[in-house]
Copies of this chain bind each other. A is one copy, B any other.
Amino acid sequence: MKVIDKVQEMQNIVNTHRKRGERIVCVPTMGYFHDGHLSLMKLAQEYGDVVIVTLFVNPTQFGPNEDFERYPRDFQRDYELASSIGVDYLFAPTVEEMYPDGYSTKIIVNKFTDKFEGLKRAGHFDGVATVVTKIFNATKPNVAIFGQKDLQQTLVVRQLVKDLLFDIDIVIAPTVRESDGLAMSSRNVYLSREEREVASQIYRALQKGLDAINKGITNRDVISSYVQKHLSKFPQLTVDYVAVVNSENFEEPAEFVPGENVAILVAVYLGKTRLIDNIITKIP
């Protein structure tokens, strides 16, 4: 596995691979790899000939009071993990390389961005749209893989790709979970042992919503109340939002209809740590 830290060098490499007719698959990440990341990397190998994992903690998608500075980083460990999977290139640019002096351009996606993560994290999706565009231009992939855990992000990225005419297929990979159901996240490392135990209740709460749907409940508020009720049992958890939405357009009808694809979304605080998770199902 080759480590590349310069945009121009990365582009020269992909140009050479593309001339050979090889398919490039890109996995954008912020590093501090867990099994979720590794599953994206393995999936990437099925979609093309050359796998590029990008490792960049993007400052523009963090709010001023968020955890950019303390976001966990461990390059040596990430290098070894990606290398062990058989990744071809680890593209790990500096902030200066990605946002050179005088940087002045912003990309705004005005769809799927006005609620949930977009509302709670002002400017977050502008930062995501902008860095994803830059990563796409630096790695010129045929396919890019994103994780379902950041579900709203996947809708924003698909919209971005469609609107800006990127010739890139977007693949969404399922969330990988710990044995107790907690969605894998680099931020789980922030949790104290006690918080870590309670964190598994996020998935349990999602399951309560799923159970409600499978019992035939189609009213959004009622489904949501099952999730809320479970979370409220754990005083260590502060709910940021619970939402039940059409998973394809993030609309929130009062009643869902049979066959509709629905996502249950949860964001909570455990101490200072903010965790999100979701589950997708179909109304029976």
Assuming the A-B contacts A162-B100, A165-B7, are A105 and B134 also in contact, with contact meaning beta carbons closer than 8 angstroms in the complex?
Answer: no
B110 lies within 8 A of A107 (CB) = no
A164 lies within 8 A of B108 (CB) = no
A52 at the interface (CB under 8 A from B): no
Q: Could you give, for residues 163-179 of chain A, a 1 whenever the CB lies within 8 Å of some chain B CB and a 0 otherwise?
A: 11111000000000000
Most chain B beta-carbon contacts within 10 A, residue among A102, A109, A137, A163: A163
B105 lies within 8 A of A106 (CB) = no
Contact partner of A111 (CB less than 8 A), chosen from B104, B137, B165, B166, is B104
Return the chain B residue nearest A20 by Cβ. B19
List residues of chain B with CB within 8 A of the CB of A167: 8, 11, 15, 137, 140
A104 lies within 8 A of B109 (CB) = yes
Return the chain B residue nearest A130 by Cβ. B164
User: Can you tell how many copies of this chain the complex includes?
Assistant: 2
Please measure, in the bound complex, the distance between the C-alpha atom of A130 and the C-alpha atom of B105, giving whole angstroms. Answer: 11
Q: How far is the CB of A158 from chain B (nearest CB, A)?
A: 11
A246 at the interface (CB under 8 A from B): no
A105 lies within 8 A of B100 (CB) = no
Within 8 A of B (CB), among A86-144: 98, 100, 102-111, 129-130, 133-134, 137-138, 140
A160 at the interface (CB under 8 A from B): yes
A235 at the interface (CB under 8 A from B): no
A164 lies within 8 A of B133 (CB) = yes
Return the chain B residue nearest A133 by Cβ. B164
A18 at the interface (CB under 8 A from B): yes
Return the chain B residue nearest A105 by Cβ. B163
B104 lies within 8 A of A105 (CB) = no
Q: Pull 7 A–B residue pairs with CB atoms less than 8 Å apart, ordered by A.
A: A7-B165, A11-B167, A18-B18, A100-B162, A102-B159, A104-B110, A104-B163
Which A positions have Cβ atoms within 8 angstroms of B? 7-8, 11, 15, 18-19, 21, 98, 100, 102-111, 129-130, 133-134, 137-138, 140, 159-160, 162-167
- Other contacts beyond A104-B111, A105-B164, A137-B167: 19, CB < 8 A: A15-B167, A19-B19, A100-B162, A102-B111, A104-B159, A105-B108, A105-B109, A105-B110, A105-B129, A105-B160, A105-B163, A106-B108, A106-B110, A107-B107, A133-B133, A133-B164, A134-B163, A138-B165, A140-B167
